[in-house]
Amino acid sequence: QVQLVESGGGLVQAGGSLRLSCAASGSTFNIDTMGWYRQAQGKQRELVATVTSTGRTTYADSVKGRFTVSRDSAKTTVFLEMNGLKPEDTAVYYCNAKQFRSYYWGQGTQVTVSS
């Protein structure tokens, strides 16, 4: 089992920046992809960005050029650097980790961008 704990959400004005962190604990060997998804009120959960254990990244078109996903050297913590935030980025952001055929989720952290 893998436990994921997110931190770093909050309230920011449009154009501002936030950095989210997600630390994995428990049985963390062979975690492959880690990343971030978000769910705005009344909408479905969507992919934001992911990074594999080899460093390959994927981004949603809506965040390309503004957000950067990365992992620490131990590959158990994933970060999301968010710049140029827009009101439409407001959502609950969830950390996700893939290990073998299992997927794990964090509890979510709220990001609110005011206009």
| pLDDT score recorded for residue 5 | 95
Residue-wise over 41-64: b if at least 16 C-beta within 10 A, else e?
A: eeeeeeebbbbbeeeeeebeeebe
| pLDDT score recorded for residue 43 | 97
| pLDDT score recorded for residue 62 | 98
| pLDDT score recorded for residue 49 | 98
β-pairing, 10-13 vs 109-114, is: parallel
CA dihedral (2, 55, 75, 30) in degrees, to 10, reads 50
Pull the structure tokens for residue 98.
């893939």
Query: How high is the mean pLDDT in each 10-residue block of the chain (115 residues)?
Result: 95 98 93 97 97 96 98 92 98 97 96 97
| pLDDT score recorded for residue 73 | 83
